[in-house]
A and B are shown apart, each in its own frame.
Chain A
Amino acid sequence: MEQILFLFVALVAITGAVYFVFARNPLYAILSLIVVMFSIAGLYILLNAQFLGIVQIIVYAGAIMVLFLYILMMLNLSKEDESKKQNLMKFAGVFSAGLLLISILGAFRGFKVQAVAENVDSSVGLTKNLGRLLFNEYVLPFELASILIFAGIVGAVLIGKKDL
């Protein structure tokens, strides 16, 4: 049952990603990317990483993708007239991406199928547990992350000003 679920969600993610990479109209591309985000959130839920799933939807699909759409609308690029890229470059791109895929999947050579551990603690993804971990061991990175966001905000505002 879970396998079928997983397969379905994975397929949706891959289809969305493929359409995103090859779409002519950037608006359609961004929309399909949102679909990918949602499917990944679904996979998080399946993995019992509840916190991450929710954050994925809120931050990624809700904030980042919306930002993309804002910029797209502002630039009014609904109709795409992308100049033709050289065939050689396209071929080289496909070749190198394929190379990367093959080399990563080559890790499967000599892979021994491991038995799944019986006593895996699956409550790891719960918010309570994650929170405990975050505020006990990772409190310093947490604070630094807030400074990072602050820097990002300042930077974005500064760059985007009309008159510098």
Chain B
Amino acid sequence: MEGNSFIQVVPLEYFIILCSVLFCLGVLGVLVRKNAIIILGCVELMLNSVNLLLAAFSSYKGDGNGQILVFFIMVVAAAEVAVGLAIIAMMYRNTKSVDISIFNKLRG
């Protein structure tokens, strides 16, 4: 089957490098950006990179458990985004802005 040949041709390291880059890009985005929605998007990016890596491991090993885990991660991510965006909408409604730097009232 074709999958077989793909696995034999593309070494697993490529996937690891790709996913690490995507993950760190997500981290960078969380640290650098100020828009709350974009930050949430960066979190999604991180999750996706992890999903990809898990699926790659699962395929290269021939074990189905990895892909099941990816499935569940997707479920959780979906729920999380829904709630998160509702919160952001609330933020906007109260302060007319989604800039996270104005939310610093919990200071010591």
Contacts and interface: CB of A to CB of B under 8 A. Distances in A.
B78 A46 contact: no
A40 B44 CA distance: 12
A40 B14 contact: no
A87 to B, nearest CB: 11
Interface residues of A, number: 86
Interface in A19-78: 20-21, 26, 29-30, 33, 36-37, 40, 43-44, 46-49, 51-52, 55-56, 59-60, 63-64, 67-68, 71-72, 74-75, 77
B45 A64 contact: no
Q: B interface, how many residues as a size bin?
A: 35 or more
Contact of A77 (B8, B58, B72, B98): B98
Q: Main secondary structure on chain A at its contact with chain B? A: helix
Contacts of A77: 35, 37, 98
Contacts of B2: 48
Contacts of A97: 24-25, 27-28, 31
Nearest to B93: A162
B106 interface: no
Contact of B10 (A6, A51, A56, A123): A6
Interface of B: 1-14, 16-18, 20-29, 31-35, 37-38, 40-42, 44-45, 48, 51-52, 55-56, 58-65, 67-68, 70-72, 74-83, 85-90, 92-93, 98-99, 101
10 contacts: A72-B37, A75-B92, A90-B32, A105-B20, A116-B60, A120-B4, A120-B60, A122-B62, A123-B3, A157-B86
